[in-house]
Amino acid sequence: MKQCMAKWAQSMLGGTTQGLTISCDGKTIRCTAKMENYESPLHIISAHVAELGITLASQKVDGKSNEIPALRQLLEVLSVEGRIIVADALHCQKETAAVVVKKKADYLLSVKDNQSALKQDIEEYVQDDKLLKSMDSAQSREKNVGRLETRSAFVTGDIDWLSGKSDWKNLACIGAIQSQTEYKGKSSSEWRYYISSRKLTAGEILKHARMEWSVESMRWLLDVHFDEDFCRIEDEGIQQVLNVVRKIALNCVKAHKQKSGSRLPLSKIMFACLMDCGKLLPVLLSEQN
């Protein structure tokens, strides 16, 4: 099933290849955690094209601990040449980096305590004021409902000193993002660290790291528009099929919205299709327009 969905989703991308961000992450369908028919909650990992809002493929995994090899298996069936794969710290693994490079893509991986030595090396470099000033830098600001977030990115390709550099396939740069938030008179600050096989600028790290969250948006849409976490079907196979069908529906609606220039929210486009079958066909055939 994942191969069929991948081929269909790839056809929607057309010739668009270079520069796209593919965000990868897993989600547990919460309702399945309460059903006796499931040995463990149904957990599904997805590959999502951030810029277009299109899900390329999905794969069921047995649980959070098995998400690491599941991502590698998912990447093996995808055509990702020229794209950049972003994933959270769980997937900051040497073997995963090697699979990405083998598929002629690049990786941008978040580095946390599961790679403690690597994180410490990057952190010590970035927190050195003199070295920090030598790094390429960029900044962005966002204000939303009184919450002001300033994100400062730093990146360098000067990594010959990095211990274990050769263990990470094609490692080209390290980076960091400092997020400073002000809300209701209170402020907080957090640092995140990254490695990449592509020589990125600070502005590019800001862009691609931000798009890691696009898969979260897709999962939110599944819950809001389809009540996925409240689906009471006890058959695991049907749950998997429905998850794929919902993602295909979102792909169609988003492609139609983009190509038609419609300003209607997704919910209104879907409701119009429900009430008038004549409006459904253009949405289903949107990738061919």
Q: What is the pLDDT of residue 150?
A: 94
CA dist 172 and 160 (Å) reads 10
Task: Return the axis-axis angle of helices 67-76 and 94-102, rounded to nearest 10°.
Answer: 10
Q: What is the pLDDT of residue 174?
A: 98
Strand-strand pairing, 147-156 and 54-61: unpaired
Q: What is the pLDDT of residue 123?
A: 97
Q: What is the pLDDT of residue 289?
A: 44
In 3D space, the residue among 277, 279, 246, 275 whose CA is nearest the CA of residue 260 turns out to be 279
Q: Where are the alpha helices (DSSP H) in 77-176?
A: 94-102, 116-126, 129-134
Q: Where are the beta strands (DSSP E) in 73-172?
A: 84-87, 106-111, 136-144, 147-156
Q: What is the pLDDT of residue 8?
A: 52
pLDDT < 50 regions, the chain = 289
Q: What is the pLDDT of residue 104?
A: 95
pTM summary value: 0.84
Q: Is 154 helix (H, G, I), strand (E, B) or coil?
A: strand
Q: What is the pLDDT of residue 121?
A: 97
Burial 177-209 (b: 16+ CB within 10 A, else e): bbeeeeeeeeeeeeebbbbbbeebebebbbbbb
